[in-house]
Structure 1
Amino acid sequence: MSQDTQRSVVVERTSGGHYVATNPRGGTITFSTDGGTEFTPVELLLAAIGGCSAADVDVATSRHAEPTEFSVAVTGDKISDEQGNRMTNLRVTFSVAFPDEEGADRARAILPRAVKTSHDRLCTVSRTVELGTPVATEVKES
């Protein structure tokens, strides 16, 4: 795999049930599994799905008009069955509004197409989830 295509993060345990993910540029995000205010891993997955699509749609629409409202709600059901723990019924709902100004009609007109294109082709996160890309795991010898 070439250097240009690889993406990575390193997750480190900071205390019991608490972690920090660091990207190669030094950015960090903390998360936990203890039910506090930090995001859980599942919530990070939902945020990644919504954030990826939001970025695609924002680029396509905001070049025509600056939105007065732009939010993306991502929901799903966490289940446990014979296949293990997983998310089902994933849904991404856009709430976008534009002011009455030049370009706003064009932005409103392309919004549905931008959402569809993000879902069908552009959003790496949701495309990966939907296509079911295998995840390899290994234990590194210390």
Structure 2
Amino acid sequence: MANVRVERTEEGGFRATNARGAEVRIGSGDEDGVFTPVELLLAAVGGCNIVSVEPLTAKRGHRLLRLAMTVQAEKIESNKLGPVTVTYDVELPSEEADEVFRAVAGRVHEKHCTVSRTLQDGTEVRLKLP
């Protein structure tokens, strides 16, 4: 089971912490050095894709010279995002690597990225109050 704790800090900000002790500062976007909740969602989509694409491409014998991406979405309502777009920025060592990268990235997007699949399937979010 995946689990994070989100809490208000003594300084009045917010942070998310995982069981391994990593943390991310969260805010409204008015202050420096924080992610907004929407930015974290986009980072989760990008992170899920990129951490799968990298090893699968390398396993097929193609180490990409550069692998990065931009993940974007616009608000279509005050509380809803429109389509999320993942745009890769890669430098490939060969034409063969391009073919492998495209095949791997497509499979990861369509079948393997838990975050993207969850958004596409519209998974229910439940609220539990004390």
Return the TM-score normalized by structure 1: 0.82
Return the TM-score normalized by structure 2: 0.89
2:101 is aligned to 111
What amino acid does structure 1 have at the position aligned with 2:83? N
Task: Confirm whether residue 54 of structure 1 aligns to residue 50 of structure 2.
Answer: yes
1:25 is aligned to 20
Query: Secondary structure in 2 aligned to 1:129?
Result: helix
Superposed displacement of residue 25, structure 1: 1.4
RMSD, aligned α-carbons: 1.5
Asked which structure has the greater CA Rg, the reply is 1
- Specify which of 66, 69, 74 is matched with residue 69 of structure 1: 66
Task: Confirm whether residue 13 of structure 1 aligns to residue 5 of structure 2.
Answer: no
What amino acid does structure 2 have at the position aligned with 1:115? A
Unaligned runs of 5+ in 2: none
CA contact (8 A) 1:62 1:107 kept: no
Please identify runs of 4+ aligned residues in structure 1 that moved more than 4 A: none
Query: Secondary structure in 2 aligned to 1:67?
Result: coil
What amino acid does structure 1 have at the position aligned with 2:118? T
How many residues in Structure 1 have an aligned counterpart in Structure 2?
127
Superposed displacement of residue 105, structure 1: 4.2
Percent identity of paired positions between Structure 1 and Structure 2: 35
CA contact (8 A) 2:45 2:71 kept: yes
Unaligned runs of 5+ in 1: 1-5
What amino acid does structure 1 have at the position aligned with 2:37? P
Superposed displacement of residue 62, structure 1: 2.3
Which has a greater percent of strand?
1
